[in-house]
Chains A and B, each alone.
Chain A
């Protein structure tokens, strides 16, 4: 007798875990399982059970090992009890538990400690001095120039300059602090316009108008073009360039007795050094070597490719499967865009690699050459990694064929389903007839019939008049997952198609089934992961 699983009583023996049937031997149970329960849902139950047993088994084994302090050695434990634990681990075969060092669980990022705070504190204290000094000088320079524009009178200008920074008194400095020579009639004292210090003419430095303009420009955040415009000779009224030129002329007028060796604002060597550093800073900020410009372009292209690639692959896969969700023309566009990017990456890479190699520029340092080659290699690796994995697109004809094929497939499947439904209907009818002719059939049949009718009721409402010709009980158990249902249905179609001798259809259906199975397991795995 069949016992229903919800009857609550405990049964012993070789029970099938799914249908609770008692099989007499292990062999029979196994056979039964293979025959009756090879659907996905069953397999899952089976694997679950297996996992349970496996865990229990390993637990038991470990327990045993702990008890007598001896490794479970499959080969030898039986004949010799290794109560001494000196047996080499090497000789005991690999058993459950240990882990290969490469497989050790992911580990945290190691300890680290930052010194940036204390570093900054110390640095800032020192840097402040320089920064304040530089800013002071820059402000004075700016004022000097601004004054020039409004008042070209040399006397007033001198007054202004003295007012801006107190000039050191002449009698306090008998010798030039830079070269150590004594001042006299022929070696006259000159004042630095920025700090007011004294030096001789020979030791004076001059901030050229160009230079001044550049410095002040940056400080005043004026566009860089004005400098270039001035260099080209364009004179715009009120531009920084003009101002600088005027200041130069007034300065020339101011210097009396000695010929100025250079044009510009007179400064001492220290102030000049500070200004020079400022200039270098600006230079670094505003100018980019060609290699940097090229490299930035390269990076941009690489980022673009990396963003586009996944999208394109999705499109290509869909199109190659004959689906119609993407437009071929659009995909082709994307593809050619991608290809153009790759080409551009390749050309830029080559350009960087050969930069300066042929030109008349100065000899490249070995570091520069290695840098360029490194970038080139990166490009090559990048292209290798990406292009070769890129799927191709079908041509228009191919696409049409693919879509046609897919349409046919779908139609065929529908037709098959319809036919199968009809056949099933027929079979059911004949069975009913048989049942009617033998009314003493057991209750189980009746129960099945009720399930059957509910099935029919549900499906008939669709209007096609088909019932799934599958084992009703198994459908009932797996009803929860639409995917499993679909699989069962297809499986029954396969049987029917095989019975009808339509081998090509069998093949096609089986392919469908496989796809479904894969998808099903993938989903389950993902679920397991998430859990």
Chain B
């Protein structure tokens, strides 16, 4: 069930099968990301792979003394490029691996072009997804949905873009093959998109029944397909655990973080790589909260100080930064830690500069409790503060608009005005309506905010929360996903809301679960799954999404999905509240 290991094993096998000798790895844009997520370059170098080339790059030199390992997605484009390559081979021998099912006709085209008999192997290795963590995968698909208006269809709706649907289906089936799972499928009933994807996946499974013929375990694995639109709140929150925070404030793209905008950054730290596979410090700290990481780094430094008998104080993060700069040996000894000092330093600067603690507290309150007058006051107060960033104000308004969508006296219009006064761009203002269209109460299938007191589960949940009090105001929010999985593991997830595809149902409690969220997952959810894996005996959960979102990328997703819809809050002055859907 380890998604990282599955890809690693595939890549290792490819390299091993080509035998000794100098090798070049020929990839496309997607497979480059796939491989770079699981292997560091130095690691691959030691397996005699010395060159990494893109299939579509022009002017590659002829090097007949190299063996060529091709790892490609089976797209029409790639088949075309590869045919050209085989016709005039640049390398001595070719070992070709496709990351997904390739059609017979494409194999034929390739075979006919291999006039010089340079191909030794043509195989399908199903590493067709981005493995982020052992329990987390993504397809790096941004903007997977759009407004579609079908003829004779009563109203416009948000649905799949055809490429995104195809890619998600391919990716999911590849994942199932890589993990050797032939699952039962459940999907979120309120989502048309979830249903379509579920049906497509099942189609592939029955079409490729030969591939999916695994030894049947006692309890069949389960694939649960959800839709982001049921929970638009989680991606809007500021995060306080390391990985999630870095993604929220700096952005992680294929394990890389762009630090070039950090003031006073040294050249070799403009882009850093954070990979749990190759960075021990990151691996052991990615799920810890901000305070704990600070103290862990401090500990490491004090250890070093004891060794070098230095008396310099390292109390604050600023001290740490100065320390790292003054002691090049430290940098050498714990190269990765120096990198983390920079990252943590920048995080802490941003937290201070934009008053993120204050903002986060209000966000969490909005997400978890219903208290209109107080919330309105808190939001208004933050509007007064010049230090609070535009994006943070927008996310507060969005959360407010979602929480009090049905509240008779909601002041969304006032807030839109206020955003305008702060000089927030039009696009952000329009997002307030867009998010209601995307994930408002009409679109959701579940009681996200627990406002429905007739629902016993959400009622007791609320009650319990009140009794228990909160340990940490900044992390009191728990995602809907977590609740859904909790119920699923206990066998209490309602068949009505999350029906099975087909007639057979699971009688026992599920053991191996693959959850996929259309519209993207967040690192907050990834952490929740990580903890569930660690704390629930006998259950293994793998989480995936079309992408891994932070607030910015999520807003982009919402924006793309709602283009073409008319909005409720079109203009601050427009008083009559019309809805066109």
Contacts and interface: CB of A to CB of B under 8 A. Distances in A.
Interface in A82-141: 82, 84-92, 94-102, 104, 107-116, 118-123, 126-127, 130
Contacts of B63: 367-368, 371
A100 B257 CA distance: 26
Interface string A286-312: 001101100100010000000000000
A179 to B, nearest CB: 26
Interface stretch (B42-50, B337-345, B378-386): B42-50
A54 interface: no
B142 interface: no
A488 to B, nearest CB: 41
Interface stretch (A21-29, A182-190, A253-261, A375-383): A375-383
Interface in B92-133: 92, 101-102, 104, 107-108, 110-112, 114-117, 119, 121-127, 133
Contacts of A43: none
A110 B211 contact: no
Contacts of B295: none
A91 B471 contact: yes
A229 interface: no
Given A100-B533, A110-B6, A111-B211, A116 B121 contact: yes
Given A111-B126, A115-B122, A94 B492 contact: no
A381 B486 contact: no
Given A86-B460, A86-B461, A87-B464, A126 B111 contact: yes
21 contacts: A84-B457, A85-B492, A86-B457, A91-B471, A96-B537, A100-B530, A101-B540, A102-B283, A107-B179, A110-B178, A110-B180, A114-B122, A115-B122, A120-B111, A122-B108, A123-B111, A126-B112, A291-B65, A371-B50, A377-B42, A381-B42
Contact of B538 (A97, A121, A377, A378): A97
Contacts of B186: none
B315 interface: no
B478 interface: yes
A268 to B, nearest CB: 20
A112 B534 contact: no
A314 interface: no
A110 B531 CA distance: 26
Contact of B177 (A104, A111, A127, A374): A111
A122 B528 CA distance: 51
A113 B123 contact: yes
Interface string A371-408: 10011011001100000000000000000000000000
Contacts of B211: 111, 113
A96 B134 CA distance: 21
A62 interface: yes
Contacts of B461: 84, 86
B126 A108 contact: no
Interface of A: 62, 69, 80, 82, 84-92, 94-102, 104, 107-116, 118-123, 126-127, 130, 277, 281, 284, 288-289, 291-292, 295, 299, 365, 367-368, 370-371, 374-375, 377-378, 381-382
Interface in B9-25: 9-10, 13, 20, 22, 24
A116 B468 CA distance: 62
B195 interface: no
Contacts of B538: 97
B135 interface: yes
B532 interface: yes
A110 B122 contact: no
B233 to A, nearest CB: 16
A116 B2 contact: no
A119 B61 contact: no
A371 B457 CA distance: 62
Given A90-B528, A107-B5, A110-B179, A123 B482 contact: no
Contacts of B66: 371
B559 to A, nearest CB: 32
A126 B536 CA distance: 58
A119 B478 contact: no
B126 A104 contact: no
A280 to B, nearest CB: 9
Contact of A378 (B46, B111, B123): B46
A374 B48 CA distance: 9
Interface residues of B, number: 79
B434 to A, nearest CB: 30
Contacts of B10: 109-110, 112
A57 to B, nearest CB: 14
B115 A130 contact: yes
Given A87-B464, A130-B115, 20 more contacts: A85-B486, A86-B457, A86-B460, A89-B535, A91-B471, A97-B536, A101-B2, A101-B135, A102-B2, A109-B9, A109-B10, A112-B13, A118-B111, A119-B114, A119-B122, A122-B107, A122-B108, A123-B114, A127-B115, A371-B50
Q: What 4 A-B pairs have minimum CB-CB distances, sorted nearest first?
A: A97-B537, A374-B50, A122-B111, A110-B178
B45 A123 contact: no
Contacts of B114: 119, 123
Contact of A116 (B46, B122, B492): B122
Contacts of B119: 119, 123
A454 B498 CA distance: 77
B64 interface: yes
Contacts of A126: 111-112, 115
Contacts of B45: 374, 377-378, 381
A286 B533 CA distance: 58
B51 A374 contact: yes
Nearest to B124: A113
B467 interface: yes
Nearest to B462: A86
B478 A90 contact: yes
A112 B125 contact: yes
A116 B123 contact: yes
Nearest to A121: B111
A299 B9 contact: no
B536 A89 contact: yes
**Which of A82, A96, A100 is most buried by chain B, counting CB atoms within 10 A of its CB?**
A100
A204 B373 CA distance: 96
Interface in B41-92: 42, 45-46, 48, 50-51, 53, 60-61, 63-66, 92
A364 to B, nearest CB: 9
Nearest to A293: B65
A286 to B, nearest CB: 12
Contacts of A291: 65
Interface-centre pick from B45, B63, B283, B468 (highest chain A CB count, 10 A): B45
A109 B13 contact: yes
Nearest to A82: B464
Interface in B224-252: none
Given A90-B528, A381-B42, A104 B134 contact: yes
Contacts of A110: 6, 9-10, 125-127, 177-180
Interface in B534-552: 534-540
Contacts of A88: 478, 482
Contacts of A381: 42, 45-46
A169 B115 CA distance: 33
Contacts of A377: 42, 45
A117 B5 CA distance: 29
A91 B465 CA distance: 11
A415 B215 CA distance: 66
Contact of B112 (A116, A123, A382): A123
Interface in B448-480: 457, 460-461, 464, 467-468, 471, 478
